[in-house]
Amino acid sequence: MILLGAEAEASAELVENRRSELGKLLADLGAPLGLDLEVLSPAAQVAFLFQSAQAIRWSRNVTAAEQLAAKVGLLPNRTLVLRVSGLGPGLPVACGVVGDLAPGQVKAIEDATALAAACGWAPRITDHLGLTVLTGDVQFGDPIHSSTNPNLWQTVHLDLVNSTVVMARDLVHEATHTALNTALDFAGVDLDKIDPRYYSPWKQERRPAFGFIHSIVSFVTVVDFLLSTRGVVSRLEGGLATRLADDEVTRLKKTRDPVSQFTDEAPAEALSIVEGILRRYWELVAD
């Protein structure tokens, strides 16, 4: 796993600041939590407190946190999982319908996080993601959706997929977006989010520096994760991982010129954060 700048230090500081801020807010409201925070990872504490505060705001009911606590599932890595339907992207769980978790749904996330851990990727997930929100069921041939949002603290939205490799891939992918945002903020780096200068084969359009480097970092990381699963998963899942990795490398090869352009134009502080990723990028796209 290639670290992004001072990733661990940045995440620890951010999570602690958010945990303190949210804990004080809910204590001032007199909101009963219905959950022992000490059993949760720091990122899970932030995610639960954040979603609880949002639920209280939307419902105007201080018992909303207790109601949320009754629905979450606790995973072996001390993070949480929740089932929510009717939830749009970038919205807190209070905006959807929180449902009951089926044992198979919990096991799917347990297996995905266990696979990531077995391949050496546990810190990326547990340091940056505290709550996995299952938002949909994907049937064969359907598009798969996953997302994080800087405004939804330590939370990932994820489709339920009948593949441990794919679900673990999406967790690593989304955790990497969060890790990069945290590292950039910690270093005080503000990349352009408006001017579309760099072609992205994933969007099939030009993207600003911020979105472009997020694509490069996340998909280089995805390739490394997928390759790391070989020999750990079944032959069937291993074949899938290889095909998915090959597909991403094919897309990465289409970005040689824009990556060179980004390297020429980006501030040194940004390049320092993604130095290891760019080194790995050039290894992957070499003919």
How would you write the pLDDT of the chain (287 residues) with one tens digit per residue?
Answer: 999 999 999 999 999 999 999 999 988 888 888 889 999 999 999 999 999 999 998 888 888 888 899 999 999 999 999 999 988 888 999 999 999 999 999 999 999 999 999 999 999 999 999 999 999 777 666 788 889 998 999 999 999 988 999 999 999 999 999 999 999 999 999 999 999 999 999 999 999 999 999 999 999 999 999 999 988 999 999 999 999 999 999 999 999 999 999 999 999 999 999 999 999 999 999 97
Q: What pLDDT is attached to residue 9?
A: 93
- At residue 266, what are phi and psi to the nearest 5 degrees? -75, 150
Cα–Cα distance, 130 to 44 (Å, whole number): 3
Cα–Cα distance, 176 to 248 (Å, whole number): 16
Cα–Cα distance, 273 to 64 (Å, whole number): 39
C-beta separation of 40 from 19 below 8 A: no
Dihedral Cα 135, 138, 142, 145, nearest 10 deg: 30
Of 112, 113, 67, 63, residue with least CA distance to 93: 67
Close Cβ partners of 15 (under 8 Å, ≥ 6 residues apart) = 42, 43, 45, 46, 127, 154
Q: What pLDDT is attached to residue 262?
A: 97
Token pair recorded at residue 70: 């009754």
Q: What pLDDT is attached to residue 136?
A: 79
Kindly report the average pLDDT of the chain as a whole number.
Answer: 93
Sign of the Cα torsion 40, 4, 287, 215 reads positive
